[in-house]
A = this chain, B = another copy of it.
Amino acid sequence: MTSKTTTPRKHAHPAFPGPGHNHVACLSQTLDRAKSAFETRGLRLTDLRLRVFTEIAASHHAMGAYDIIERLGAKGTRLAPVSVYRAIEALTAAGVVHRLESANAYFACHAAHASQRQHIVLSCRTCRTIAEVAAEAVFDAIEDIASVHGFKADTRIVEISGLCAHCVEKASQ
């Protein structure tokens, strides 16, 4: 028999990391995916790029280029802005870092984008956490409306700001 106090079913891989999130393991997988991404594209994940990526992927937050410079500077190596921007360029080209357009900031792709499905960005304005979530219906609707207007879409930016589930819960307490 089932208990009367079953907890609601949660996502196996919740988009927003919860309190129990093991980011050490998360980061390790993210680094592995980054290495694969560079390899399969015939690009080189150099030491500089790896250090910049590790800094960005250290959290699920978006980070400005100058934040990265400061953090790496605190670890001993003061990089010139252009070096960081070049690393970011390579990382975004490899698809392991994305730019949060509405914040002029950069975040690591922690989801396995392996499937070619497109993702939208959810950004919590309280805890600053970023999540990418698959949203085929959104992109289907975009293609529909674009075609109605004879528009041939190329790049699609969908960035939603609001409150993540964890922060909604906290706010209601």
Mark A116-150 against chain B: 1 for CB-CB distance below 8 A, else 0: 00001010110000010111011011101110111
Mark A144-166 against chain B: 1 for CB-CB distance below 8 A, else 0: 11101111111111111111110
In the complex, A101 has a CB within 8 A of chain B: yes
Decide: A149 and B125 in contact? CB cutoff 8 A: no
A137 CB contact (under 8 Å) in B120, B144, B161: B144
In the complex, A102 has a CB within 8 A of chain B: yes
What's the nearest-Cβ distance from chain B to residue A70, in Å?
22
A149 CB contact (under 8 Å) in B131, B149, B158: B131
What's the nearest-Cβ distance from chain B to residue A23, in Å?
19
Report whether over half of chain A's contact residues are helix, strand or loop; otherwise say mixed. Answer: mixed
Decide: A157 and B154 in contact? CB cutoff 8 A: no
What's the nearest-Cβ distance from chain B to residue A127, in Å?
12
A145 CB contact (under 8 Å) in B135, B155, B159, B165: B135
Q: Which residues of B contact A150 (CB under 8 A)?
A: 164-165, 168
Q: In the complex, A149 Cα to B101 Cα: how many Å?
A: 22
Q: In the complex, A169 Cα to B16 Cα: how many Å?
A: 43
What's the nearest-Cβ distance from chain B to residue A130, in Å?
12
Decide: A149 and B133 in contact? CB cutoff 8 A: yes
Instruction: Show 15 residue pairs from A and B whose CB-CB distance is below 8 angstroms, ordered by the A residue.
Output: A14-B149, A15-B149, A101-B101, A102-B157, A120-B145, A122-B149, A122-B151, A137-B144, A138-B138, A138-B141, A141-B141, A142-B158, A150-B168, A153-B162, A155-B162
Decide: B149 and A154 in contact? CB cutoff 8 A: no
What's the nearest-Cβ distance from chain B to residue A20, in Å?
16
